Amino acid sequence: MQTITFSKLEALGNDFVLIDTTNQVDINLTVEQIKQICDRHYGIGCDQLLIIKQINRNQIPCFSYKIYNIDGSQALHCGNGARAVICYIKHKYRFESKYIELVLANNHVITGQITTNELIKIDMGAVKFTPQSLPAILTQSTTNNYTIKYQSQIINYGIASVGNPHVIIKLANNLFNDDNYIIEVGRTIQSKIDIFPEGVNVNFIYIQNPYTIMLKTYERGSGLTKACGSGATASASYCYHYQQCNNNIQVIMQGGSLQVTIENNNCQLIGNANIVFNGNIIL
């Protein structure tokens, strides 16, 4: 058995357990141990487990950043998790540098900072809209419009990759407010491994106006969550490129709102995050 120090973090109600192995022994958790940590009844409880460690890369403070879902699978990106990690690093290490870098498991680098009004801003990079980038077994559509059958209904959707795969479905207000419908459609699309062999996050949007969208995300490996940073980025960029929305979009989710700014297809994600408490767990 071993004692592991952790921090509980949250970003718009999207909650995380963070294990910083910079000053403690490296850990190799089993899938069952990850599930236990994430379990809200038998463990600490969270939407995702995050593991970081400071590494030497360049003059900017840099940390490796690994993400695990509640089912024990590894995720390749989490925008809210990245913002929460930047918040933790800034308060824990007090670096003089304005910027912090996070290196994901696929070697993608996220650069983040805390703004003058204490919001966390991260560079999510360029969003891609090709089937190959997800990956998805689809013939590319020039209008990013695909269809899938749900019961007797044909659903139109778009695709996007922010380092992890996303489907975006535009809904009318009545369906957007029906969580049972969203969960069932989300499960149905995630089950289509013939189309999405590595799974997919399913985003449901309601466009209020060109500057504001509402979002619910049925996340791969986690289900319906209060907020999703990469889902907000993918959805806002999709709305800008394919739904005549502005390049500065407020994304409203159950846990709160994020601002997504798009310049030359490069996305900046801005919002708050907090350290909730610190503790130890014996595994």
**Which residues belong to the active site?**
78, 228
Same fold, 3-118+272-282 and 131-264: yes
- Would you kindly state where each structural domain of the chain is located, as residue ranges? 3-118+272-282, 131-264
Q: What is the pLDDT of residue 76?
A: 86
pLDDT in tens, 7-28: 999 999 999 999 999 998 878 9
Burial of 148 (0-12, 13-18, 19+ CB in 10 A): middle
For the segment 138-158, what is each residue's pLDDT rounded down to a tens digit? 999 999 999 999 999 999 999
Task: Check: pTM over 0.85? Answer yes or no.
Answer: yes
Q: Is 3-118+272-282 CATH 3.20.20.140?
A: no
Given this model, what pLDDT does residue 27 score? 87
Query: Which candidate, 106, 171, 104, 101, places its Cα nearest to that of 135?
Result: 106
Q: Which segments of the chain have a pLDDT < 70?
A: none
What pLDDT does 57 receive? 85
CATH of 131-264, one of 2.70.160.11, 3.10.310.10, 3.40.50.10860, 3.40.50.9100: 3.10.310.10
- Checking DSSP bridges between strand 266-271 and strand 120-126, what pairing results, if any? antiparallel
The per-residue pLDDT for 103 is: 95
3-class DSSP assignment, residue 237: helix
Q: What is the DSSP letter of 61?
A: -
